[in-house]
A = this chain, B = another copy of it.
Amino acid sequence: MPGLTIGDTLPNLEVDTTCGKFMLHDFVGQEWVILFSHPGDFTPVCTTELAKVAAYTERFEERGVKLLGLSCDDIQSHNNWIKDIESYSGGCKVKFPIIADPKREIIKELNMVDPDEKDATGKQVPSRALHVVSGDKKIKLSIQYPATIGRNVDEILRAVDALQKVANHKVATPVNWKPGEAVVIHPGVSNNQAKEMFPQGYSTAELPSGNDYLRFTNV
């Protein structure tokens, strides 16, 4: 399997989509992008996923995040399928492009191949892969779910919020963090630096080791 994973640069492929042809890096520009793949048009889990993403479009837009889907079927199929998605979502529009990859070339480059599933003609199909890409064109976070397991759009939104929080401050987000909750101060920040950087103050967990590495603040 190809090794595209976090830290790697998104290959600058030309893609054909429901919103025209473009180069992946041009699409990313200086923004955050969620690139996510689906096993196939007119299939059940995919339809529920796309409908949920369509319903969440405003939340992604508010965060400056662009969406880019991928399914192997052709553009005509995508456009017909979108009618089903928009109907199932109660009228939420699919405003983002969906890449077509009938030759299965792009999914191999992007580490989006499902190892266990094939379509009716025996061709490979995509897994439920998802890469969060930032303006430097690098993959910051990546998940690979099998064809049978729908993703959790709330967790994707939470992860984007966390990525954007840590991109703007010298902090990290603890387990299960949600927006509004305390974050932790990066271990590379000394206590003296922390006092300057976080005038709002911070609290340090008391631990048996006596070390003061677990410091919480609000930013």
Residue A152, interface by CB 8 Å: yes
Complex interface bits, A106-118 against B, C-beta within 8 A gives 1, otherwise 0: 0000010011100
Decide if B44 touches A215 in the complex (CB within 8 Å). Answer: yes
- A141: B residues at CB distance < 8 A: 144-146, 149
Contact partner, A115, options B7, B42, B177, B184, Cβ 8 Å: B7
Complex-state Cα separation, A83 to B175, whole angstroms: 18
- A197: B residues at CB distance < 8 A: none
Complex interface bits, A126-156 against B, C-beta within 8 A gives 1, otherwise 0: 0100000000000011111111111111110
- A42: B residues at CB distance < 8 A: 209, 211, 213
Complex interface bits, A35-52 against B, C-beta within 8 A gives 1, otherwise 0: 000000011110111011
Given known A48-B174, A84-B208, contact A115–B150 (CB-CB < 8 A): no
Contact partner, A150, options B8, B48, B147, B175, Cβ 8 Å: B175
- A45: B residues at CB distance < 8 A: 172-175, 184
Residue A80, interface by CB 8 Å: yes
Residue A162, interface by CB 8 Å: yes
Min distance, Cβ A96 to any Cβ of chain B, angstroms: 16
A–B complex contacts, Cβ < 8 Å, 22 sampled: A1-B3, A1-B5, A2-B3, A3-B3, A3-B111, A6-B127, A6-B145, A7-B116, A44-B172, A44-B185, A47-B213, A48-B174, A80-B209, A141-B145, A141-B149, A142-B144, A143-B143, A148-B171, A149-B166, A150-B172, A152-B158, A152-B159
